[in-house]
A and B are shown apart, each in its own frame.
Chain A
Amino acid sequence: MKYQVVIAGIGGQGAVFLVKVLSIAASLKDQKCLGTENHGMSQRGGSVSCYVKVGDFHSPAIDQGQADLLIALEGNEGLRNIQYLKKGEGTIIVNADSKFPEIAYETIKIDAFAKARKDEFPIQALNVYMLGITLARDPHFPFSLNDIEEAIQQMNAKMAPKNIEVLHQAIEDARDI
């Protein structure tokens, strides 16, 4: 199995957290995994992109046209990285409102900012929320809800119940997309 994920967002949104969760999930399934985090220059507010490659890979970086999945924690950061998606096969899971343009990739769109503004989930858990949408809507995603729950538990047991709650809520919300 080979599966390549690009995670794009803004510094402070927790893209690196998702790299860690997916790496743990891969190890739980006894899969090889290489990831890379762009720690960048700006602590908060700059563009961030991270890569996760599950399966037999040798280099942590992802080339253009190679990613199976792009998780975009913010719409423009998603668009900035669409060249990494596989043509005709790649899926983008994006936090964006109705103005997000039509693109030539399978697009799963949810306005997570609007939901957070209505206090439907805490904005600090945006990363986990978008992972929940991914679980619900990407049929090729190589991890099950169980894998991800266990990875989140291993990552930080104290925060896990809250994160898992958000994960479930996202899966529920994904029905309405």
Chain B
Amino acid sequence: MKNILMGNDAIALALIHANVDMMSGYPGTPSSEILGNFAKFRDKFGVEAYAEWATNEKVGFEVAYAGAIAGRTTCATMKQVGLNVASDALMSASYIGLKGAMLLIAADDPGFHSSQTEQDSRSFAKFAKIPVLDPATPQEAYNMVKLGIEISHKFETITMLRPVMRVCHAREICDVDEKLDFNPPKGEFKREITRWAAVPPAGRFKQGLEQFARIEAIKEYNWTELIEPKVKKLKGAKTLCLTSGTGTGYVIEALEEMKLEADVLKLDMPYPLPKEKIEALFGDYDKVIVFEEPYPCIEEQLSSPKLHGKLTNDVHKIDEFTKDKVLMAFSNVGLIDKNSFYKSEKYADELPVRPPNLCPGCPHRDVYYSVMKVFKKKKSIYPSDIGCYTLALNQGAIDTVLCMGASISMASGFSIADPSKTVVATLGDSTFMHSGVSPLINAVYQNHKFVLLILDNSTTAMTGRQKTPERINPGKIDIKKIVEGCGVECHEYEYTPEIDKTIDFMKFIKTKYEEATGPVVAVIREFCVLDKERAPEKLPQVFAEVNEEKCVACDICTTVYKCPPMHYNENDKIEIDPFLCIGCAACLDDVCPTDAFVKVVK
């Protein structure tokens, strides 16, 4: 049956077709749609399956892994940096193995489209000694989910699916199963203490040996089931391109379009590789080039003087593939002359940049504006965190971004390292639940003096507004109670677009900070402007325009406040784009030193 599917839809549908009935994880671009779409297909088909977000990737992984120990067919989903969080669990789970099946989806982001690193989850699979499948398109992602579950069950190991952004967010007409035969095995935990709770050294040593044996068996499977059938189809050219995932499409298109002769061998499972068997193929070729992204995962497993790739400086080492980079590799190894077929001139004049920005009307903007107004930049350090609010970088209101939850621990560190400054840390509610609680306990424990503002919009906004714990269970989970439970008072402020009130609250926090001996914590109850349930009643629908006579082009609104509708017009005066303005009216107070923003009277 043909279906037009985005990669993440294809993965979700395949999970149902592969009998997965327990799924957890944590959202992160480009993986975020998988769990929600899985739940949609589940409801559409009227089958029963657990599909719920966890507070973080480690928790989600462990929920799914316990399911697989108890014999269920499960899945954990996350982005590549999420796997860092879940890695503690993964490293042990790969020794222990499982009874049912578990697919671990780690979505990579070559080119840093929306991630802080370009790390390669295939290399992580290699580190953890679990097999990994690397799809090139949504159709392949669909097929590989099913294959991954099969391999997981057969070898009693977690199997990784590693789609990249260009698979997750690609769209393709896919051929999918017509019929749904949803019949997942029931869960039943069977006590086997020496396996599920093996203690070092003897127990784990034995499992370590089993892990080696398992990987050897999977290498053999990789050869006979996945590689050997393709070897028979190779044409016998002088050059062999070994590819993984999306690298394949770029190579095939470049070869076709440039009329170049080469054999392409796509390795569906880039780890573990049957090294000797693959190297034996090299004999018939003059050159072998590896095309994979972003790390040299395949290349590191092979060795031959004929082998070229990132390690030999022939293939680019950072950023996403392009066909131009394929040609560059061909030219670097001496197969073609330098070629500019895939190059074209950019527009020569300077264009106004449009960096990622907070949405018009976003409460975060007012909070950061107020923070800078009250806690002056020269006397402050602003550690922040991962979420939409990271975009307040544009306002100059953020000094550091590291990883989930680090704003609080780094605030501790900065308060010790540079006590002459006031440290004002900011993070969102979902990030606080994810990994903010233990650093806050640490700060109370060690009396670290800084300001922590928890920006609570009750949604995981940046990844598509997944519902957060306190939203799903109101009254049970509450940030204020959690903060108090950590041993510190929690000040609370209900955000309103009247910006003066937000500034007043920051002044109040400043007085609290001056008399404090430990962290000063506040939760700011915000909303997301894209939140259809909550935003409409919060936005006054009062629109702003500019009184050109009053505008002195001082740049304050375009540099410190930075609301997207504000821009210069041909008279060099600020203008508000009526199509972008959402009527929050926040800029009518305080923002303009000459009061040039005025209400639109219709």
A103 adjacent to B347 (CB under 8 Å): yes
CB contacts under 8 Å to A, within B326-371, are 341-347, 349, 351-352, 354-360
Which residues of the other chain, B, contact A32 by a CB distance below 8 angstroms? Answer: 173
Q: How far is the CB of A153 from the nearest CB of chain B, in Å?
A: 14
Q: A44-B530, A63-B324 are in contact. Are A35 and B342 (CB under 8 A)?
A: no
Please report whether the interface of chain B is mostly helix, strand, loop or mixed according to DSSP.
loop
User: B-facing mask of A21-63, CB < 8 A → 1, else 0?
Assistant: 0011011000011111111111111110000000001111101
Q: How far is the CB of A109 from the nearest CB of chain B, in Å?
A: 15
Which residues of the other chain, B, contact A83 by a CB distance below 8 angstroms? Answer: 344-347
How many of B's residues come within 8 Å of A, CB to CB? 54
| A-B Cβ contacts below 8 A, count | 148
A60 adjacent to B579 (CB under 8 Å): no
Which residues of the other chain, A, contact B248 by a CB distance below 8 angstroms? Answer: 58-59
A43 adjacent to B114 (CB under 8 Å): no
Q: A61-B322, A113-B579 are in contact. Are A46 and B355 (CB under 8 A)?
A: yes
The closest CB in chain A to the CB of B463 belongs to: A39
Q: A34-B137, A41-B391 are in contact. Are A46 and B354 (CB under 8 A)?
A: yes
Q: With A and B bound together, what is the CA distance between A27 and B351 in angstroms?
A: 37
Q: With A and B bound together, what is the CA distance between A53 and B137 in angstroms?
A: 13
B169 adjacent to A116 (CB under 8 Å): no
B166 adjacent to A61 (CB under 8 Å): yes
Which residues of the other chain, A, contact B345 by a CB distance below 8 angstroms? Answer: 83
Which residues of the other chain, A, contact B170 by a CB distance below 8 angstroms? Answer: 34-37, 60
The closest CB in chain B to the CB of A57 belongs to: B253
B173 adjacent to A64 (CB under 8 Å): no
A107 contacts chain B at the CB level, 8 A cutoff: no
The closest CB in chain B to the CB of A47 belongs to: B354
The listed residue (B246, B323, B579) touching A63 by CB distance below 8 A is B323
B91 contacts chain A at the CB level, 8 A cutoff: no
B462 contacts chain A at the CB level, 8 A cutoff: yes
A79 contacts chain B at the CB level, 8 A cutoff: yes
Q: A61-B166, A80-B347 are in contact. Are A40 and B172 (CB under 8 A)?
A: no
A123 contacts chain B at the CB level, 8 A cutoff: yes
B343 adjacent to A43 (CB under 8 Å): no
How many of A's residues come within 8 Å of B, CB to CB? 48
A66 contacts chain B at the CB level, 8 A cutoff: yes
B342 adjacent to A116 (CB under 8 Å): no
Q: How far is the CB of A144 from the nearest CB of chain B, in Å?
A: 19
B82 contacts chain A at the CB level, 8 A cutoff: no
The closest CB in chain A to the CB of B347 belongs to: A79
Q: With A and B bound together, what is the CA distance between A42 and B249 in angstroms?
A: 28
The listed residue (A40, A57, A58, A65) touching B343 by CB distance below 8 A is A65
Q: With A and B bound together, what is the CA distance between A103 and B344 in angstroms?
A: 13
A37 adjacent to B354 (CB under 8 Å): no
Which residues of the other chain, A, contact B461 by a CB distance below 8 angstroms? Answer: 43
Q: With A and B bound together, what is the CA distance between A77 and B353 in angstroms?
A: 10
A85 contacts chain B at the CB level, 8 A cutoff: yes
User: A-facing mask of B232-252, CB < 8 A → 1, else 0?
Assistant: 000000000000001011101
B169 adjacent to A37 (CB under 8 Å): yes
B2 contacts chain A at the CB level, 8 A cutoff: yes
A10 contacts chain B at the CB level, 8 A cutoff: yes
Q: With A and B bound together, what is the CA distance between A83 and B347 in angstroms?
A: 7
Q: With A and B bound together, what is the CA distance between A45 and B577 in angstroms?
A: 11
Q: With A and B bound together, what is the CA distance between A123 and B248 in angstroms?
A: 40
The listed residue (B114, B246, B347, B355) touching A82 by CB distance below 8 A is B347
A40 adjacent to B173 (CB under 8 Å): no
A77 adjacent to B344 (CB under 8 Å): no
B171 adjacent to A58 (CB under 8 Å): no
A158 contacts chain B at the CB level, 8 A cutoff: no
B352 adjacent to A76 (CB under 8 Å): yes
A20 contacts chain B at the CB level, 8 A cutoff: yes
Q: A23-B4, A46-B356, A63-B342 are in contact. Are A76 and B351 (CB under 8 A)?
A: yes
Q: A82-B347, A103-B347 are in contact. Are A44 and B169 (CB under 8 A)?
A: no
Q: A23-B173, A24-B4 are in contact. Are A41 and B341 (CB under 8 A)?
A: no
Q: A23-B173, A33-B173 are in contact. Are A10 and B354 (CB under 8 A)?
A: yes
A101 contacts chain B at the CB level, 8 A cutoff: yes
Which residues of the other chain, A, contact B137 by a CB distance below 8 angstroms? Answer: 34, 58, 60
Q: How far is the CB of A10 from the nearest CB of chain B, in Å?
A: 7
- Can you identify 9 A-B contacts, CB atoms within 8 angstroms? A39-B30, A41-B114, A46-B357, A58-B252, A59-B248, A63-B323, A66-B342, A76-B354, A117-B578
Which of A's residues lie within 8 Å of B, judged by CB? 10, 12, 19-20, 23-24, 26-27, 32-47, 57-61, 63-66, 76-77, 79-80, 82-85, 87, 101, 103, 113, 116-117, 123
